[in-house]
Amino acid sequence: MSTLSDPPKGSFRLSMLLNDTRYRSMTLQVIAAVILALALAYLYSNLAANLRAAGLNISFSFLGSAAGYDINQTLIEYTSQSSNLRAAIVGILNTLLVAVLACVTATFFGVIAGVLRLSNNWLVRKLMAFYVEIFRNIPVLIWIIIIFTIMTAVMPSPRDFRGDDPASTMLLDLFAFTNRGVYVPGPYFTRGLGGEDGSTLNWLLVIATLVGSFFAARYASARANRIQEATGVRPKTLWSNLAIWIVPVSVLCLILGLSWDIPALKGFNFSGGLKVGGPLIALWFALSIYTGAFIAENVRAGILAVSKGQTEAAAALGLRPRRVMSLVVLPQALRVIIPPLISHYLNITKNSSLAIAVGYADITATLGGITLNQTGRAIECVLLLMAFYLIISLLISAGMNVYNSTMKLKER
Amino acid sequence: MSDTHAQSVAFVRESAIPQQPAPASAVGPVKWLRENLFATVPNAVLTIFSLYVLYFVLSSTLPWILNGVWDANSLAECREILQGTSGACFAVLTERWPQLIFGFKYPSTEYWRPALAFAFMLLAIAPVLFFDLPRKLLVFTILFPFVAYWLIWGGTIWISIFAMAGFAAAYVVYSRLVGQNFALGFFGGVAAAVIVWIIASYVVPAIAPEQPLLEAVPSRDLGGYMLNMMLGITCVSLSIPLGIALALGRQSSMPLIKWICVVFIEFVRGVPLITLLFVASVMLAYFFPPEQTVDLFLRVVIMITMFSAAYIAEVIRGGLAALPKGQYEAADSLGLDYAQAMRLIILPQALKISIPGIVNVAVGLFKDTTLVSVISMFDIIGMIRGPILASTDWNGVYWELLGFACLVFFVVCYSISQYSQWLERRLATDHR
């Protein structure tokens, strides 16, 4: 009888490699590994042969040599004599600048449109649905080009601002919208630390003050919570919060002598103030309204995902509508809204590479565009470009994973 | 009782009052207006503001559109006809229509070929989209890629015939061997197809006629909206099987295969499409054999397919994860092997769940085909920004052209998303 329950002790046959589940996965993996190795070796040998034929080699030394081209919008100091590496860093900063700006405004548009799509007002609801459908179904590249065309072909040229009876005038005498860019008043410090070159230091000081205010405001709110827990009455925090945010920064600005540089027409062009170039505005605004349409759908879905019973239960507990929103609905809706929101931020960062279509000097246009064409280092440039975007998106998705694990429903 | 009552009360009504119509403010359009547009004061303000915005937009665009000129040969001629009044110059669309649709290099005597291919595409795609159509039409769908290739690129018909023969051989071998083992059938089929194609690579140049029936058109001559359509359809249809394979690979219990798929998916999803297109235009040539030149269209198709396959793989992974574990266990307990379980039980359900996601990726991909204009391919955007706006005749006709581009993309993308919503309702088999 015992022989019946024993497994057959047959000797190992070759066909068992494919038919026996004990060995099959091993066989398939070995085959896959061999195919992968062969494919990589084939690609590498082609690459080596092609490079030898073209007399090239893989080298990153071009990063140190002078770039030799100008960039019209830079956040850090840059001349055509700076290195290619510095041009790439200028590009990275420009990418991050437009990405951050677009993320903020896209969230703004998206939240407003998403909430208004749920409005009681029929007309507003329909208009917002129209906005969402129009912008979601037309490529973002077309939007970028349209807004760039508005910026360059419709805006008046600086010449139109001259004369006694000019064709166009500055908005509030502060902002000038021209086809060379938008000129806005630029802040600067008359009594700043570190003299002429110390402006970065002064701005860091301002930011440090704001960070300090943030922690002070958090402390104040924690204190209010403690008092509420102890006595049941929440002290009024509105005025103290306003003071915490406004007073230190205003005092600092007074000490440093904050002043505004108003753009003015000098000769053929505006000077003074901050110039925001047409390409930046086109990219910023197009990415914002395009992604805003997607975010609007997320926001709507998130709010609809909170079941009506939650709102009713909160109302039955006697919470005011505002507290219902902030304590019950929003925390649950945000759990649905935020993960896709972050992936939309990632999309904005990746779509900002379309800057190359309108000549905004982001990393794709500097490293992947002009540097690549001037040095002919295609492989190195494209690899660096991909590495940059890969690092950014891995960082963002790592952040998202951390957020998801802290926010996910705690099931017990 | 009634007597005493009659004495104490002056009037007692003994019949019901005839029913009155509801007050005018609570019925019909007035009620609708009050409820939907003027419910509260902020609501009324919002309505008036929206009406103003609507009026502003329409009053500035409608006369411009209605006053449009459809027949002229240049912008200057348009302006002459308009004589200073505001109006669009749609003549650019009629005059440059072939360029917008087919690009500026496609031989103008051969425009009927892509047009016919487009008509065939509608026929071929219909039985895939609508299940109620007779299944026999699917034969046409299978033939379509080969016919379309021959129509658009022209040249010898033998390329299409041998390509088809390869697939036919693969199918025959697969259906013979699949009874034995799925893997055996699959790899046998691939081997058969490869053998046929290797034979073809020697035979076709020998038997190709000197003067083919259809004039050969090189890939670099393709352009216009046709290029967007071709890239969109080719890449979507190629990336769905690849995406399924990647999604299954990512779920696999074999660590090596799993990691290959994970690295591929995460890498492709981490970089923008434009960098992949740079790879296609400047870098991919280094990885092909030195003596061989692979044309840009094929390189772009490879990169876009990889790109959308990674996204589709993630969508399908979501669908696979959403299936209850019982489905996998039920398949196992029926004694099905991996391939059967996937084909018969898991994938039909997982793909059904993934339809909205796949359609989103497809729409996104179709919109992203405009990016090829950045690597100097002349798709519709490339045509508008390049040859048309740069010509002396039409320099400055921005809004008509960009509006046309918006319209063609909107029509296609919006119909696809409406179709996907219809399909979702159609496939909903659960009871709610």
pLDDT score, position B241: 92
Total tally of structural domains belonging to chain A: 1
Asked if pLDDT for residue B300 goes beyond 60, the answer is yes
In this model, does residue A3 exceed pLDDT 60?
no
Closest CA to B172 of B191, B157, B158, B159: B191
pLDDT in tens, A278-289: 888 889 999 999
How large is the average pLDDT for residues A306-334? 87
Per-residue model confidence (pLDDT) at position A286: 92
Give domain status of residue A355, yes or no: yes
pLDDT-derived band at B430, boundaries 50, 70, 90: low
Q: Retrieve residue B56's tokens.
A: 């502003």
Q: Which residue has the higher pLDDT, A400 or A147?
A: A147
The answer to whether A29 contacts B54, with C-beta atoms less than 8 Å apart, is no
pLDDT at B167 > cutoff 60:
yes
CA–CA separation, A346 vs A365, rounded Å?
19
pLDDT at A7 over 60: no
Q: In angstroms, what is the C-alpha Rg of chain B? A: 31
Per-residue b or e along B65-84, where b marks 16 or more CB atoms closer than 10 Å to that residue's CB: eeebbeebebbeebbeebee
Does A275 reside within a domain? yes
**A65 in a domain, yes or no?**
no
The reply to whether A194 falls in a domain is no
Give the residue numbers spanning the domain of A109. 84-185+262-407
A35-44, A62-71, A99-108, B326-335: segment of lowest average pLDDT: A62-71
> Looking at per-residue confidence, does A23 or B143 come out higher?
B143
**Angle (nearest 5°) at CA A151 between B395 and B74:** 15
Q: Do B46 and A138 touch (CB under 8 A)?
A: no
Residue B242 has pLDDT above 90, yes or no: yes
Query: Given pLDDT bands bounded at 50, 70 and 90, which one contains residue B177?
Result: confident
Residue A324 pLDDT more than 70?
yes
> What mean pLDDT do residues A22-47 have?
87
Q: Do B374 and A354 touch (CB under 8 A)?
A: yes
**What was the pLDDT predicted at B52?**
92
Q: Is the dihedral angle over the CA atoms A380, A385, A386, A388 positive or is it negative? A: positive
Which has the closest alpha carbon to A306: A284, A279, A280, A328?
A328
Element (H or E) spanning A182, and its range? strand A181-184
pLDDT band at A37 (very low <50, low <70, confident <90, very high): very high
pLDDT at residue A28 is higher than 70: yes
CB A378 to CB B396 under 8 A? no
Position A331 in a domain = yes
Domain B221-432 coded CATH 1.10.3720.10? yes
| Mutate: best of A25, A135, A142, A152, partner B, most B CBs <10 A | A142
Q: In A, which residues are within 8 Å of B260 by CB distance?
A: 32, 36
B278, B361, B363, B394: best mutation site toward chain A, by most A Cβ within 10 Å? B278
DSSP for B139-179, written as a single string: HHHHHHHHHHHHHHH-B-THHHHHHHHHHHHHHHHHHHHTT
pLDDT at A162: 67
Look at residue B35 and tell me whether its pLDDT is greater than 70: yes
Q: Domain containing A139 — which CATH number?
A: 1.10.3720.10
Looking at residues B310-334, what average pLDDT do you find?
Answer: 90
Which residues of chain B lie closer than 8 angstroms to A389, CB-CB? Answer: 270-272, 275
Instruction: State the Cα–Cα distance between residues B92 and B391, nearest whole angstrom.
Output: 11
pLDDT at A293 over 90: yes
Mean pLDDT of chain B: 86
Better-predicted residue by pLDDT, B338 or A160: B338
Q: Complex ipTM, two decimals?
A: 0.87
Can you give the pLDDT at residue B396? 79
Asked if B193 and B170 count as a contact pair (C-beta separation under 8 A), the reply is yes
Are B404 and A146 contacting, i.e. CB atoms less than 8 angstroms apart?
A: no
DSSP state of B15: S
Average pLDDT over residues B265-271: 90
Whether the pLDDT of residue B1 is over 60: the answer is no
Q: Please state the rounded mean pLDDT for residues A245-263.
A: 78
Q: How many CB atoms lie within 10 A of CB B57?
A: 10
Q: Which of A237, A241, A238, A233 is nearest to A215 (CA)?
A: A241
Which pLDDT score is estimated for B235?
92
CB contact under 8 A, A46 and B287: yes
What is the model's pLDDT at position B233?
Answer: 92
Q: How many CB atoms lie within 10 A of CB B190?
A: 14
Residue B39, min C-alpha distance to chain A (Å): 8
On chain A, the residues whose CB falls within 8 A of the CB of B275 are: 353, 364, 368, 382, 385-386, 389
Q: Quick one: pLDDT at residue B243?
A: 94
- Highest-confidence segment of A55-59, A133-137, A366-370, A408-412: A133-137
3-state class (DSSP) for residue B70? coil
If one compares A404 and A99, the residue with the highest pLDDT of the two is: A99
Would A209 be classed as within a structural domain? Answer: no
User: What phi, psi does B38 have (nearest 5°)?
Assistant: -130, 45
Instruction: Provide φ and ψ at B214, rounded to 5°.
Output: -110, 135
- The answer to whether the beta carbons of residues A334 and A403 sit under 8 Å apart is no
Taking only the tens place, the pLDDT of each residue in B243-260 is: 999 999 988 888 888 999
Task: Give the residue ranges of DSSP H helices in A152-277.
Answer: 199-231, 238-256
Chain A's closest residue to B278, CA to CA, is: A382
Give the SS3 label for residue A350: helix
Contacts of B266 in chain A (CB under 8 A): 394
Residue A143: the pLDDT is 92
Is residue A136 included in any domain, yes or no?
yes
Collapse the DSSP code of B225 into the 3-class scheme (helix H, G, I; strand E, B; otherwise coil) and give the result: helix
Band of the pLDDT at B69, cuts 50, 70, 90?
confident
Q: Residue A376: pLDDT band by 50, 70, 90 thresholds?
A: confident
* Closest of A358, A365, A409, A345 to residue A141, by C-alpha: A358
The pLDDT of residue A192: 65
Q: What is the mean pLDDT of residues A245-264?
A: 77
Distance from CA of B135 to the nearest CA of A (A): 32
Instruction: Test B402 with A142 for CB contact under 8 angstroms.
Output: yes
pLDDT of A193: 66
Give the residue with greater pLDDT, A369 vs A161: A369
* pLDDT reported for residue A365: 85
* Inter-chain touch B254–A124, beta carbons under 8 Å: no
Question: Would you say residue A315 lies in a domain?
Answer: yes
Q: What is the spatial distance between Cα B347 and Cα B326, in angstroms, rounded to a whole number? A: 14
* A304 and B CB contact within 8 Å: no
Taking residues B140-155, what's their average pLDDT? 87
